[in-house]
Amino acid sequence: MHKFLLLALFVITPFLLFSQETGSNETKTENLKVVDSLFREDQFYVALSYNLVQNSPAGFKQFSFSPSISAGFLRDFPISKNRHWAIAPGIGYSYNNIKQFISTDDLFPENPPVPAEEVKTKIVSHSIEIPLEIRWRNASYDSHKFWRVYTGFKARYILSTNLKLESASIGSESSNVDDNINKWQYGMYMSTGYNTWNIHVYYGLNPIFKNGSKLSDLNIGFMFYIL
């Protein structure tokens, strides 16, 4: 009788162990699928750029550093099974400060001061931006280090723009120039890199001003994505 029980135990035990192992593997696989089906990438962004501008008029000369800073949220929507491709609409805030010299002869053509001098001017704008990205990355659910190439279109609504003047003869002045600015500005951009560091380029497609100057944005810098 004891021999029969021992024999039965040896026969049944492997099947029980195999059943438990199979169940455990199935659970792990299910958990892996759940994690893989939910992970998203790069939903907050900060861009720090230098505004080189384009289509500048004759005699245009920048001074110091003309910064462009933007930050916001992008909702990541993967569109491929491995989640390497995605689209991402978003919303954010943008600050731009274009610093340039302009001659008083150009600034005051009807009554220029004598002698003529260069005036420091700053075009400072604040805007709400609405980006839409098409994304490729070789990301996985268990690592935040991966290559990415994101390209997109961005529309900006200008909240306010001030023109600041500074020189020895006129001192320091500031005025609102909202009426002279295109309230909607838009352009194309690309961000590419690995892990934390990404090169960012934005190319403005329409002028900053309504009339006259065709000056438009050309930003080159770094983009940082979080979560």
Give the domain ranges of the chain. 1-38, 40-226
Higher per-residue pLDDT: 165 or 1: 165
Query: Per 3-state DSSP, what percentage of the chain is helix, strand, and coil (rounded to 5)?
Result: 20, 55, 30
Q: Are 97 and 38 in contact (CB under 8 A)?
A: no
Reply yes or no on whether the pLDDT at 79 is more than 90: yes
Tens digits of residue pLDDT in 179-211: 999 999 999 999 999 998 999 999 999 999 998
Determine if the pTM surpasses 0.85: no
Q: Name the nearest CA neighbour of 184 among 128, 138, 226, 135.
A: 128
What's the CATH number for 40-226?
Answer: 2.40.160
CA 158/CA 83 separation, integer angstroms: 34
Tens digits of residue pLDDT in 28-58: 444 444 444 567 888 899 999 999 999 887 7
